[in-house]
Amino acid sequence: MLSDVDVLRIEERAAAIRRTIIEMLVAAGSGHTAGPLGMADIFAALYFNILNHDPAHPDWAERDRLVLSNGHIAPVRYAAMAHAGYFPVEECLTLRKFGSRLQGHPERLRLPGLETTSGPLGEGLGQAAGMALGARMDGKKFRIYCCLSDGEHDAGNVWESVMFAGANRLGNLTAIIDRNNIQINGYTEQVMPLEGLRAKYEAFNWHVLEVDGHNVAAIISTINQAKAIYEKPTVIIAHTIPGKGVKEIEFDYRWHGKPPTKEEAKKFLHELRTLRGKITSEHE
């Protein structure tokens, strides 16, 4: 069971990840802001509590696999990996630069610790399902996690993967949907309605859980619940706020693929530092 100290430690990691995201985006001059900020709590929970992994040995055979299907939110994964010790945090400032290991979408052969190359939306869940089936065939105990966006459910190959995983009862697979209700050209329910999302997954033989994507204790508890489901795959619908931590941009789909200017970054970083102090005071 998580103690208050454990929760505080992970919340502080999430706050640091958010600050690094802003710093790397303004240094790059391009990239996605809203999604990475919204997923910071989940990635902090994954890298600092949930995943069985070893940053010193990123290719460890028994590691849990984390597939990032919505590769455009790469800044949150890079920031989480850096703070977890996979590479120096300073390297985050090379995001999207020529020759950098940190490209706009993750490239597996560039950076140890990445399981797949992602960019075209809709591919990650199929890759993760294949890993899960292969692990079961090999008698392996590690788990496979796949983070994907709500908007990429517009892609038909997502639903092919949902059917495949459900049909094969892949209990070692957990999908985490960033349900932030935005995509690049608007709000999901206006562009291509997804509801009832829960009922759709249940119809394809998935166990469905839902969680507040900014409640660290709830995130960890929910993912641990998924580990106890053996007879079918589990999907966690994580309700998140795009741009979380920066009030000016929260819920605004226009920040889906827009980086901050230097002046905006100064304001955002000040707000995020204030948020860090609030997190600490709430646990005192």
Task: Give the per-residue pLDDT at 274.
Answer: 83
Measuring CA to CA, which residue among 206, 271, 54 is closest to residue 142?
Answer: 54
Instruction: Tell me what pLDDT residue 277 has.
Output: 59
Give residue-wise pLDDT tens across range 236-264. Answer: 999 999 999 999 999 999 999 999 999 99
Cα torsion 51, 54, 58, 63: sign: negative
Q: What are phi and psi of 182, to 5 degrees?
A: -130, 155
Do 88 and 82 touch, CB atoms closer than 8 A?
Answer: yes
In tens, the pLDDT along 17-71 reads: 999 999 999 999 999 999 999 999 999 999 999 999 999 999 999 999 999 999 9
**What is the per-residue pLDDT for 1?**
74
Q: Which amino acid is at 104?
A: G
Q: Which pLDDT score is estimated for 283?
A: 57
pLDDT (0 to 100) of residue 80? 98
Domain ranges of the chain: 4-282
pLDDT given at position 10: 97
For domain 4-282, the CATH superfamily is Thiamin diphosphate (ThDP)-binding fold, Pyr/PP domains (3.40.50.970)
Please report the pLDDT score of residue 57 as a whole number.
98
DSSP class of residue 151 equals G
Backbone angles phi, psi at 178, to 5 degrees: -80, 90
pLDDT < 50 stretches in the chain: none
pTM of the model: 0.95
Cβ atoms within 10 Å of 228's Cβ, excluding its own: 9
